[in-house]
Structures are given as C-alpha cells and as structure tokens.
Amino acid sequence: MALSVFVGVLMAAILIGAPIAYALILCGVALMWLLGLFDGQIIAQNIINSAGSFPLLAIPLFIIAGEVMNSGGLSKRIIKLAITLVGHLRGGLGYVTIFAGVLLSSLSGSALADAASLTALLLPMMVLAGYNRDRSGGLIASVSVLGSIIPPSIGFVVLGVASGLSITKLFLAGIAPGLMIAAALVVAWWLMSRRNTDVELSPKASGKERLKALVDSFWALMLPVIIVVGLRFGVVTPTEAGAVASVYALLVSSCIYRELSLKSLNDLLLRAGKTTAAVMFLVAAASIPAWMITIADIPGQIIDLIQPVMDNPRLLIVVLMLLILVISMVMDLTPTVLLLAPILVPVVTAANIDPIYFGVLFMINCSIGLITPPVGTVLNVVCGIGRMRYEALLKGTFPFLIAEVIVLFLLVIFPELVTVPAQWFGH
C-alpha cells in the first residue's frame, strides 16, 4: 500500500506540473498521513537537518570552482591545449571536444557547466570549420555528461549523502568508467568523421606551440591532479577537496592568469549561489520521503516484488538499469538520485551486489538521461547557447548516445571493469 501511495502521489504531482521539490514533499506528507505519523515538526526537522549535512558543503564549493574555471581562463587554456595536440587530425575538433570535455569534467563536477563552456567555446569553431552543426552539438552534449561521472562529480556527492555510501569511493570508482565512455565517443566520432572530406583542418601545431600551450595550461591541469591524489591518499575528504579546488581556482585565475576581475567574481558567486540554492532545496525536500521510505519499509516491499530475480545479480542489475533509465528520461539527475537511491541501494545490498559498483552504474544511467528526451537537461543547455532546434540536436546526439549505452551494457556484463580499477584507486 505504501509503495502504491508513494508512486501514485509522485506521478500525479509530476503530471500536474508541480516542481519536483514540492512533489517530493507531497510524497512524504502522503506517506505520513497513510501511516498516521503526520507532524509538522518532523517535516521541518528533516529539512533543516538534511540541508545542514557537512558532506553537502562540497556542492557549493565545486560549483564555485567550476564557475571560476569558466570565468578565469582555465577552460580556455585547456581547450587551446587540446587544439594544439589533436586539432590537425581529420575530425580533429571533435577529438578536441572529447579531450577538453574529459579535462573539464575533472575540474567542474557539473555536466551543465561543461555543456555551457564547450558549446560557447567550441561549437562556433566547429561550424566555421565545416563540421555538421547538429552532429557537433550532439558530441558536445554527449561528452558533457562526463561531468557527472568523472570526479569531482556533484552527482556522486548527492548520491553518497542520499544513500550513505562513501563519496570518496564513488569518486575513485568513477574514473575508469568515465574514461571508457570517452574512448567510446572517440571511436564513434572516428567512424563518423571518416566521411567528412570537406572539413577544414587546423594547421598542425609545432612542437614549440604545443609546449607553450602545455606550459600555459599547467596550472589548470594541476587542479584535477590535486583532487584525485588528495582523495587517493586520504589527504582530503571530498568536502575539503571542494574547498581546495575553489581556493586554488581563485588564486590561479586572479594571481597567475589574471583574468578574474572583482565584477566577474561577484557575478559568478551570484550564479553559484542560485545553483546551490536550487540543488540544496531539492536535497532538503527529498529528506522527507527518504525518511518515510525507511519507516514504511518500501525497499522491503520492492525486494518482495523482484524476489524472482534476487538470486541472479546480473539480471537484477539489468532490471534496475531499465527502471532508472525510464525514470531519468522524465526527471533531472538530482531528483532521480534523491528519489531512487534510498530505495535501490538497500535492495542491491540485500542481493550481495557491491553498492559502490551499483552507484557508478546508477550515475552513468542518470547521466545518459541528461541527453534523452523528453527532458534532456544538457540538450536544452546546448540548444539555448548554440541556438539549435531540439529535434535536430537530438538526431545529432543519437550515435553518441548509442555508444554510451553500449559502455553501460558492458559494465553490467563485466563488473570487473568497474570494481578492479576502483580497488586499485582506493587502496
């Protein structure tokens, strides 16, 4: 009964157009009424306690680091380095996009921030060189989702807080799958770019130009190194890594590159504040149904429903991946994580599946949802900045979407592709 009420109220709230945060609160209140536990003080207490969680402090810190990176010249130098290294190849600007996307993902932690940066900086350049606009936009959208997979991923922070999993372990376990997705995008772009014989190639950079670009981007490239090494050896927690990243990005942008003015600092802090407020309100709102999910034993009810596949971990993962994919197509990443993590992590734990492994697959699946209709948040960002039609961009995204789904399928079939690198990074 509790599961039916939970799903019914959530679907009804979404169908009438209620904001996701309010829909989550409504779900929690409905479950309270059902169980005879309604109390306004409980609602207020859950909201205040969840928003005051120390690990969540990493979210505004990484958001600030990403904004500083975009405004202070770090993104620009990383893209310039990528152009000098692979820009002269056939389809070179596509490889630049993937290479730059991986590096930006290791700096910002946000798929939306990466999509905005790459679209503004690279899409005009690709169109001018003769690349198909829709396909270029599709590649940018597809590589941008790595921002939610490669650490420091804000999505992993939310997942860790919602499920109780170690954020550090999630960060380190996301590195190898993120690079695999990048490699799959390289293969997909190579297969498609072989036919682009009329594309204007960038002149091959000399060794001196490459060295200059590498030296110029050195301070930007050091940021992901500091974060990953600090996490790997236990020097910093994810929250402390966010603080280090923010301060480091501010110092590099203002003192070394000298591209961050007081006015731009004020603007980026305002943008970061608005983004943080939206995310934190979602987290606070989700705390009410999350608490009631535990009280009503909804994970136990789901285990009873899927009991036939509980003895087959691989089949169970496939069923859960399909469920997550369907939900992530109609909901944004953060509410999907906040909604499903408290329910599904206990289920996979009961089935003796490594919850960190599941968490990585969960995040990849939700990230793919960012470039699938009807919501496709990253697609909307690329459309808005690149002034493109949604339908045309969706068509250009499709080959790369298939490549990412294939990687997800391989990770389901071969869990060692996640668990073995995760053990190496974590120990």
Give the number of other CB atoms < 10 A from CB of residue 403.
20
Going from the C-alpha of 334 to that of each of 144, 147, 232, the distances in angstroms are 16, 13, 26
pLDDT at 141 over 60: yes
Tell me the two tokens of residue 274.
Answer: 């608005």
Q: How far apart are CA 139 and CA 143, in angstroms?
A: 6
pLDDT digits (tens, 9 = 90+) for 272-329: 888 888 888 888 887 777 777 777 777 777 777 777 777 888 899 998 998 888 888 8
pLDDT digits (tens, 9 = 90+) for 195-215: 665 566 667 778 888 899 888
HSE on the CB side for 287, CA within 13 Å?
Answer: 20
> CB under 8 Å to 319, separation ≥6 — which residues?
306, 309
Q: How far is CA 221 from the centre of its chain?
A: 20
On whether the pTM is more than 0.95, the answer is no
User: Which pLDDT score, from 0 to 100, does residue 287 have?
Assistant: 78
Is the peptide bond between 335 and the residue preceding it cis, with omega within 30 degrees of 0?
no
HSE on the CB side for 353, CA within 13 Å?
Answer: 28
pLDDT digits (tens, 9 = 90+) for 264-284: 888 888 888 888 888 888 888
pLDDT digits (tens, 9 = 90+) for 255-267: 888 888 877 888 8
- Least confident stretch, 95-99, 127-131, 362-366: 127-131
Q: How far apart are CA 379 and CA 400, in angstroms?
A: 13
HSE on the CB side for 414, CA within 13 Å?
Answer: 9
pLDDT digits (tens, 9 = 90+) for 40-77: 777 777 777 777 777 778 888 888 887 888 788 887 88
Tell me the two tokens of residue 190.
Answer: 């190579």
Can you list the positions of beta strands (E) in 230-331? none
User: CA angle at residue 117 from 268 to 366, to 5 degrees?
Assistant: 100
Give the number of other CB atoms < 10 A from CB of residue 4.
10
Helices (H) and strands (E) in the chain, counts: 23, 0
User: CA angle at residue 200 from 195 to 201, to 5 degrees?
Assistant: 95
Q: Which of 64, 102, 110 is nearest to 243 (CA)?
A: 64
Q: How far is CA 360 from the centre of its chain?
A: 11
> CB under 8 Å to 194, separation ≥6 — which residues?
90, 91
| Sign of the CA dihedral with 123 first, then 128, 131, and 134 last | positive
- Determine if residue 19 is left, alpha or beta; phi over 0 gives left, psi from -120 to 50 gives alpha, anything else beta: beta
User: Which pLDDT score, from 0 to 100, does residue 368 have?
Assistant: 93
Tell me the two tokens of residue 210.
Answer: 């490459």
pLDDT at 1 over 70: no
DSSP letters of 53-119? -GGGGHHHHHHHHHHHHHHTTHHHHHHHHHHHHHTTSTTHHHHHHHHHHHHHHHHH--HHHHHHHHH
Asked whether 98 and 273 are in contact (CB, 8 A), the reply is: no
